[in-house]
Chains A and B, each alone.
Chain A
Amino acid sequence: MKSFLYERATTTQQAVDALAKRLDAKLIAGGTNLLDLMKLEIEQPRHLIDVNSLPLSSIEPLPGGALRIGALVRNSDLAADSRIRREYPLLSQALLAGASGQIRNQATTAGNLLQRTRCYYFYDPRMPCNKRVPGSGCAALNGFNRIHAVLGASDHCIATHPSDMAVAMTALDARVETLSAAGARSFPIDQLYRPPGSTPHVETSLAQGEMITSVTLPPPPPGRQMYRKVRDRASFAFALVAVATIIDADSVAVRNARIAFGGVAPKPWRGIVAEQALLSARPSRDALEQIAEIALADARSQKHNAFKVPLAKRTLMHAIAESTRDG
């Protein structure tokens, strides 16, 4: 690990000021992703700003029925929160399907959103990787790319975003709130992640020195919420494919549909076209197959990950069928 200056911020403004002062400064929250990468010298901040003392650990109802989640709320506390369990069960399920009890106790809302890919070539400094060393190439393209993306990737990077929580928040139309020297702003979570294009090392739309202060969930949408995660072992593994759905339907009509995928793209992948198709469908086996086809219509697989396409389709069909079942 490279040496760094450690500083504990006591106010959010102080953290933002310290972050703005140096290009090589980074915030540390739970540390479960950053320290992992610092040990391998993939991340080399020279200045570490500890945000754990900041008053950003609460979950607060807002007028109008929204819920604001502080950037430092731990993944375990968020999953166990009674309002989240009751009104946003999808988010509890996604959090509980991620990592381990120990890691969830450390991991924070903002840190989880900003965790980096688990592409094994990204983690191996001996291998070319455009995300780690821009312009060095992508070892995954012609390598072992079983865990990689089938949607939204580029010729420069086919890594997936590993977060479960972010997939649920994407289905819930969450908004991200930030603070920087330029002031505070708020934007839809879908705009947080940038497509890899030819610059896969630029992962988010956050400006240099911009800090996430909270995530706000709009009032709970009508319908059944569901998070389905498929992985190589039953617990403590990243998603091969995950599907978040929110579906409000009865035997006559589908009134509301949200679909988001995890494990298949560089960001939580919203299936907008499939959602629209679902709205005009009467849920039947044929219709489900059609909607799954639509959702994965743009899929482009690599040598080792073609299995993800049918897996994502079936997982989606299963989630829709469960959500539209009576009772």
Chain B
Amino acid sequence: MSEQDDNALLTRRALLEGSAASALLLTTGMPLRSEAAAADEVSFAVHTNVVTLRINAHDSTLNLDSRTTLLDVLRHQLGLTGVKKGCDHGQCGACTVLVNGRRINACLTLAVMHENDEITTIEGLASGERLHPLQSAFIAHDGFQCGYCTPGQICSAAGMLEEARRGWPSHATHNLCAANIPLTDEEIRERMSGNLCRCAAYPNIVKAIAAAAHEARQ
């Protein structure tokens, strides 16, 4: 990662934004934001960083505005639109990806924070034409309706099953110190509570995950 435009007070982008705002002011007579806010915007230098991200085992080097979230890079710069934006505030789980095997919300982290990390999205779960067992299970058990939350559900489930395999407890675990915590439906529901489904496909999502977990244990 390297920092550029460090000392630039007025960048091309800020200038463009500034002139776009004044053009709007001229045509409509109504500023979108207050003029003070627009002036403030101009005084903010835009900082960019060159970042190399390793996504689905493929390196991409990008010049990014430091504000860019991991979610926006994946969707907008890299075209990985399987990753969804539901709320952009950590509340829905649609943007769940795996970072070094752990599930996180891509909307609440900056891309520039992930140099040297191994990032996996829904696009990277299958091996060639062979679907990931969770993908097959979601199809077999009809674990979706509109499908919007599904990539996040599947990535989250992949991370969750790994957490369970490592013996992590959950809020639904009765004995925190148990050596073996059975992955009951109650456990699955609790562990997946960070993924909302507007279509309420929950019963089949739980079935699909339980089936994939069962298969993995065989």
Name A's B-contacting residues (CB within 8 A): 1-8, 28, 30-32, 35-36, 39, 46, 48, 50, 52, 76, 79-80, 82, 85-86, 89, 92-93, 96-97, 99-103, 105-106, 234-236
- Is B88 interfacial (CB 8 A cutoff)? yes
B171 near A97 (CB under 8 angstroms)? yes
Q: A96-B170, A235-B190 are in contact. Are A101 and B159 (CB under 8 A)?
A: yes
**How far does the alpha carbon of A2 sit from the alpha carbon of B37 in the complex, in Å?**
11
B160 near A101 (CB under 8 angstroms)? yes
Indicate with 1 or 0, residue by residue over B61-105, a CB within 8 angstroms of chain A CB atoms: 000011101000000000000000000111001001000001111
**How far does the alpha carbon of A177 sit from the alpha carbon of B3 in the complex, in Å?**
32
Question: Which of B167, B176, B177 has the most C-beta atoms of chain A within 10 angstroms of its own C-beta?
Answer: B176
**How far does the alpha carbon of A85 sit from the alpha carbon of B103 in the complex, in Å?**
22
Minimum distance in angstroms from B51 CB to a CB of chain A: 10
- Is B129 interfacial (CB 8 A cutoff)? no
Q: A2-B44, A4-B66, A86-B177 are in contact. Are A103 and B105 (CB under 8 A)?
A: yes
Indicate with 1 or 0, residue by residue over B29-67, a CB within 8 angstroms of chain A CB atoms: 000000000000000111101000000000000000111
A3 near B108 (CB under 8 angstroms)? no
A93 near B176 (CB under 8 angstroms)? yes
Q: A32-B90, A235-B190 are in contact. Are A105 and B110 (CB under 8 A)?
A: no
**How far does the alpha carbon of A99 sit from the alpha carbon of B189 in the complex, in Å?**
14
Minimum distance in angstroms from B21 CB to a CB of chain A: 15
- Is B124 interfacial (CB 8 A cutoff)? no
Please name all residues of chain A whose beta carbon is closer than 8 Å to the beta carbon of B88 when the two chains form the complex: 39
Minimum distance in angstroms from B173 CB to a CB of chain A: 8
Contacts across chains A and B counted by CB atoms under 8 Å: 121
B-side interface residues, number (CB < 8 Å): 46
Minimum distance in angstroms from A9 CB to a CB of chain B: 12
Given contacts A8-B113, A96-B169, 15 further A-B contacts (CB under 8 A): A1-B67, A3-B66, A4-B47, A30-B109, A32-B105, A35-B108, A35-B110, A46-B44, A80-B163, A85-B177, A92-B169, A92-B176, A97-B171, A100-B195, A234-B193
**How far does the alpha carbon of A287 sit from the alpha carbon of B106 in the complex, in Å?**
50
B66 near A48 (CB under 8 angstroms)? yes
A6 near B47 (CB under 8 angstroms)? yes
* Closest residue of A by beta carbon distance from B102: A105
**How far does the alpha carbon of A99 sit from the alpha carbon of B102 in the complex, in Å?**
16
Please name all residues of chain B whose beta carbon is closer than 8 Å to the beta carbon of A48 when the two chains form the complex: 66
B3 near A6 (CB under 8 angstroms)? yes
- Is B122 interfacial (CB 8 A cutoff)? no
**How far does the alpha carbon of A76 sit from the alpha carbon of B159 in the complex, in Å?**
12
- Is B148 interfacial (CB 8 A cutoff)? no
B45 near A3 (CB under 8 angstroms)? yes
Chief secondary structure at chain A's binding surface: mixed
Q: What are 24 A-B interface contacts by the 8 Å CB criterion?
A: A1-B67, A3-B67, A4-B47, A5-B45, A31-B113, A32-B105, A35-B108, A35-B110, A36-B108, A39-B88, A46-B44, A76-B102, A76-B168, A80-B166, A80-B167, A85-B177, A89-B176, A89-B177, A92-B169, A102-B105, A105-B159, A234-B190, A235-B171, A236-B194
A102 near B176 (CB under 8 angstroms)? no
A236 near B193 (CB under 8 angstroms)? yes
A5 near B66 (CB under 8 angstroms)? yes
Please name all residues of chain A whose beta carbon is closer than 8 Å to the beta carbon of B193 when the two chains form the complex: 100-101, 234-236
Identify the 8 closest CB pairs spanning chains A and B, nearest first: A100-B194, A235-B193, A6-B66, A236-B193, A80-B168, A3-B44, A96-B171, A85-B176
- Is B150 interfacial (CB 8 A cutoff)? no
Please name all residues of chain A whose beta carbon is closer than 8 Å to the beta carbon of B135 when the two chains form the complex: none
**How far does the alpha carbon of A6 sit from the alpha carbon of B103 in the complex, in Å?**
24
**How far does the alpha carbon of A89 sit from the alpha carbon of B105 in the complex, in Å?**
27
Please name all residues of chain B whose beta carbon is closer than 8 Å to the beta carbon of A103 when the two chains form the complex: 90, 105, 108, 194
A101 near B163 (CB under 8 angstroms)? yes
Please name all residues of chain A whose beta carbon is closer than 8 Å to the beta carbon of B189 when the two chains form the complex: 235
Please name all residues of chain B whose beta carbon is closer than 8 Å to the beta carbon of A7 when the two chains form the complex: 3
**How far does the alpha carbon of A100 sit from the alpha carbon of B168 in the complex, in Å?**
14
The contact of B103 among A35, A82, A101, by CB within 8 Å, is: A101
- Is B212 interfacial (CB 8 A cutoff)? no
Indicate with 1 or 0, residue by residue over B152-180, a CB within 8 angstroms of chain A CB atoms: 00001001100100111111010011000
Please name all residues of chain B whose beta carbon is closer than 8 Å to the beta carbon of A31 when the two chains form the complex: 108-110, 113
Please name all residues of chain B whose beta carbon is closer than 8 Å to the beta carbon of A3 when the two chains form the complex: 44-47, 65-67
Minimum distance in angstroms from A88 CB to a CB of chain B: 10
Q: A6-B110, A96-B171, A100-B93 are in contact. Are A106 and B45 (CB under 8 A)?
A: no
Please name all residues of chain A whose beta carbon is closer than 8 Å to the beta carbon of B160 when the two chains form the complex: 101
- Is B112 interfacial (CB 8 A cutoff)? yes
Please name all residues of chain B whose beta carbon is closer than 8 Å to the beta carbon of A32 when the two chains form the complex: 90, 105, 108
**How far does the alpha carbon of A32 sit from the alpha carbon of B95 in the complex, in Å?**
13
- Is B1 interfacial (CB 8 A cutoff)? yes
Please name all residues of chain B whose beta carbon is closer than 8 Å to the beta carbon of A92 when the two chains form the complex: 169, 176
Minimum distance in angstroms from B205 CB to a CB of chain A: 14
Please name all residues of chain A whose beta carbon is closer than 8 Å to the beta carbon of B46 when the two chains form the complex: 3
B104 near A105 (CB under 8 angstroms)? yes
